[in-house]
Amino acid sequence: MPRPRRELTGPRRGVESPLVTDDTRSPKRWLIGEPLPSEKLEGQLLPKHLALPIFASDPLSSVAYAPQELLMILLIGGLGFLTLAPWVAVAVVVLLLVVVASYRQLIKAYPSGGGDYEVAHRNLGEKAGLVVASALLVDYVMTVAVSVASGVDNIISAVPELAPVRVELAIFFVIALAAVNLRGVRESSKAFAVPTYLFVSSVFVMVVIALVRTALGDPPVAESAEYTVQADQLTQAAFILLLLRAFSSGCSALTGVEAIANGVPAFRRPKVQNAQKTLVLMGSIAIVLFAGLVAVALIAKVHYAEDACDLQGFVDCEGTPQRSLIAQIASAVFGGSLFGIPFYLIQACTAAVLLLAANTAFNGFPLLGSILARDQYAPKALNTRGDRLIYSNGVIVLALVACAILLVYQASVTGLIQLYIIGVFVSFTLGQTGMVVHWTRMLREGCVDRGAVYRARGINAFGALLTASVLIVVTVTKFTHGAWLVFVIMPILFTLMLGVNRYYRDVRVEIEPDATTQFGSHGDHAIVLVGTMQKPVLKALDYAIAARHESLEAIHVGIDDEATALLQRQWTEQEIEVPLRIVASPYRDISMPLIKYIKGHRAEHGSEVVTIYTPIYIVGHWWEAALHNHKSRRIRQKLMLVHGVTISLVPWLLDSSEMLYGRRSRPIPGQDRRGEPIRPLPRRPLEPAGSAGPTGSVPGGGAGPAGRAGAAVEGGAVHRGLVADAEHGAPGADPDLLDSTDASSDAHAPGPKQTPRAPGKGQNVGNARRGDAARKARSAARNSTGPRRKK
């Protein structure tokens, strides 16, 4: 049976407290900068000269360790095997040319940024697309790990004393890179442009000087030139396997080539042409530097072994780490010239670009994650742009996983690189195969320039064949050296992505409206949970009244007879109109008696919507979170499972919250909805000490919920409600905040007289209460439900 509506009107007027601005920047703002509006997204797009260090830093930096890994594998067979290095290098260069040409076609056909994932998903099906996605995710993580570990390796080559803190250095650099990337794409591109271009120019100059010296009859000689290696007898099969393994290690120079195809949306217009030009420039620089370093290393007779103790003649091989290939070349080319400044410059640039090479992954991983989230194969949080218009969740996830990998492998380049290029060539192969299907479909459907399509298909077909062959070689040669782990991780990621997609699909079907969907709630009942008579409870009552529910009551679950009796007495003394109902709980549980009462209420009154108001403390210190809100959280978790119940949290900002949030300004609930203007209260003079101030009222003549918060003495005056700062005009929760009118009541009932407490013996009246009064004034200004005005 429907009940008559109770007109508990909300406050029509409210005091305004000064709008407090947060003059101190939070640590987050110092770290990543101020938020950018969405219309600034176009301004974050990259020109070619900034896109190159962002997307090409990985393939450009790989020339610092790819020649080293190639020569290291060949040296296993003995010094004579180094004569095969030029031919292996030529094979790597040819492969790089084919891959660059193939991705140039892919950028033109699929400029949306999905790269190999989108190509495989559209042309080869869902499962092929997810295989590529899992391979790319692994590849991006390994890009960060290998690049940072290699950068730390070069730092240790220059400063051997840092060897004991190798892992700590690597993790520090990952965190630093993540922090820079969280500032936005354009910010990170500016930070990374100088080191990348400085590395390219310095290595190019070093190679040219070495070749000129060789032409003049003064070739550079490396410090390891006199070291020899004890070679083992190899069978013909072992010889071929060694060559293939050296080739697969040299193919690490191709890592990161796909990043430009994945990052086309980040380029300025015309996006496709700019991306293609950047890709060609990146490929040209990588080929020149890779070939030049291999040539100079052979001229200088650089000998680099997987285990330094395999080099005969290397003194203290266990205590002294061997210098990297590029460090030995720099030392041989520049020697002690200019006090060794060129050598340290080369090492600094190499270490910087290797560290920054991880930035390719920090751009590619979040973009791929956003596309997977858009297609519902990954959590939707990965498709959310952060304050700086980047996919910040993807950046954070990548940094955490990369740190874990570095910790497990102790930042060892040799151990990490075995896991590295498997994912690259899986994506290469399936991406190029998908492009062949794409061009074939275009020919079948009819196209204008069939000759161009035939050429494009031929390039991609050759690329697919070549990369598939390399994938087989890499798998065979690296499987037992640690690459098997990639073949374990990829199926796990594949299964997880399928599971996420299936879950999202099931949820979409579940929540989609259909012919049987009916929402026919009748009635609106509100309950304010009351523990003790405190300001947060009074504020919750104020919100509940302002929301104009059809009926309203306050409920206290009694687990202590004395506390319950005290609350009832205070409720009566404060003359709060809202009825207070006591629900007994003999077993000291709050949730179940409350749920039982709500279910009984709905059974009696039908399909009423029950709104539960409960206060929640907003704190500023991390340790305060352990001291508040636990009981209310447990109650909320159980109430959310009750049919027909909604929960409204009413925040109460403690003093410490100003550290993080400042003060929030919001109108009285319902004031905007009613279209009422903000009308500040006229200032009332403070009354003499010992007199009672006016009180607020609610319909029926009772005191308003927040109007009886008590009296406080300030400077010899008593003021009803919360204390107002007379000097700065910062009123708190004044009784008139809850002043409301009703057709049945025109009079305001006076409240009980408030007598100020006498100060203790020897206590100064002004000083005794000034701190508490100021604290109350600040608290009232923070938590007032009324609108605020500036000073």
CA gap 258, 104 in Å, rounded: 10
Task: Judge if 77 and 164 occupy the same domain.
Answer: yes
- Which span out of 20-24, 61-65, 137-141, 353-357 was modeled with the highest average pLDDT? 137-141
Instruction: Find the helix or strand (DSSP H, E) in which 357 lies.
Output: helix 341-374
308 pLDDT above the threshold of 80 = no
Regarding predicted confidence, which is higher, 323 or 495? Answer: 495
In a domain, 545, yes or no: yes
Number of domains, the chain:
2
328 pLDDT above the threshold of 70 = yes
What's the confidence (pLDDT) of residue 190? 67
Reduced to 3 states (helix: H, G, I; strand: E, B; else coil), residue 85 is: helix
CA gap 721, 783 in Å, rounded: 13
Kindly give, in sequence order, each residue whose CB lies less than 8 Å from that of residue 682, ignoring residues fewer than 6 positions away: none
Task: Judge if 552 and 487 occupy the same domain.
Answer: no
Regarding predicted confidence, which is higher, 638 or 35? Answer: 638
CATH number where 258 lies: 1.20.1740.10
In a domain, 384, yes or no: yes
Reduced to 3 states (helix: H, G, I; strand: E, B; else coil), residue 653 is: strand
CA gap 785, 536 in Å, rounded: 11
CA gap 577, 571 in Å, rounded: 9
CA gap 360, 57 in Å, rounded: 6
CA gap 389, 41 in Å, rounded: 7
Domain residues for the domain of 361 are 56-192+238-309+347-503
From 503, 534, 550, the end of a domain falls on 503
- pLDDT band at 444; cut points 50, 70, 90: confident
Task: Judge if 721 and 686 occupy the same domain.
Answer: yes
In a domain, 563, yes or no: yes
Task: Judge if 499 and 528 occupy the same domain.
Answer: no
To the nearest whole number, what is the mean pLDDT of the chain?
75
Distances (CA, A) of 208 to 71, 83, 147, 348: 21, 22, 25, 19
Task: Judge if 433 and 566 occupy the same domain.
Answer: no
In a domain, 134, yes or no: yes
Closest by Cα among 218, 505, 498, 285 to 372: 498
From 503, 535, 565, the end of a domain falls on 503
3 pLDDT above the threshold of 50 = no
Task: Judge if 598 and 746 occupy the same domain.
Answer: yes
In a domain, 47, yes or no: no
In a domain, 188, yes or no: yes
Task: Judge if 531 and 498 occupy the same domain.
Answer: no
Regarding predicted confidence, which is higher, 154 or 431? Answer: 431
Task: Judge if 638 and 685 occupy the same domain.
Answer: yes
Kindly give, in sequence order, each residue whose CB lies less than 8 Å from that of residue 768, ignoring residues fewer than 6 positions away: 759, 760
CA gap 708, 733 in Å, rounded: 10
Phi, psi of 567 (to 5 degrees): -65, -45
In a domain, 610, yes or no: yes
- pLDDT band at 604; cut points 50, 70, 90: confident
Instruction: Find the helix or strand (DSSP H, E) in which 229 lies.
Output: strand 228-229
Beta strand spans in 544-688 (E): 551-558, 580-584, 609-618, 645-653, 687-688
What's the confidence (pLDDT) of residue 746? 32
In a domain, 661, yes or no: yes
From 503, 536, 569, the end of a domain falls on 503
CA gap 526, 508 in Å, rounded: 31
Reduced to 3 states (helix: H, G, I; strand: E, B; else coil), residue 197 is: helix
Task: Judge if 369 and 408 occupy the same domain.
Answer: yes
- pLDDT band at 95; cut points 50, 70, 90: confident
- pLDDT band at 224; cut points 50, 70, 90: confident
Task: State pLDDT tens for residues 168-186.
Answer: 989 998 998 888 888 766 5
Amino acid at the residue 774: A
Amino acid at the residue 83: T
Task: Judge if 681 and 533 occupy the same domain.
Answer: yes
Task: Judge if 477 and 596 occupy the same domain.
Answer: no
Structure tokens at 698: 């609610």
Task: State pLDDT tens for residues 675-723.
Answer: 444 333 333 333 333 333 333 333 333 333 333 333 222 332 322 233 3
Q: Measured in whole angstroms, how far is the alpha carbon of residue 651 from the centre of its chain?
A: 26
- Quick one: average pLDDT of 273-277? 88
Cα torsion through 654, 655, 661, 663, rounded to 10: 90
Contact 474, 111 (CB under 8 A): no
What's the confidence (pLDDT) of residue 186? 58
43-57, 210-224, 323-337, 495-509: least confidently modelled range: 43-57
Task: Judge if 547 and 471 occupy the same domain.
Answer: no
Phi, psi of 553 (to 5 degrees): -150, 155
64-78, 87-101, 332-346: least confidently modelled range: 332-346
CB count within 10 Å of CB 490 equals 20
- pLDDT band at 544; cut points 50, 70, 90: very high
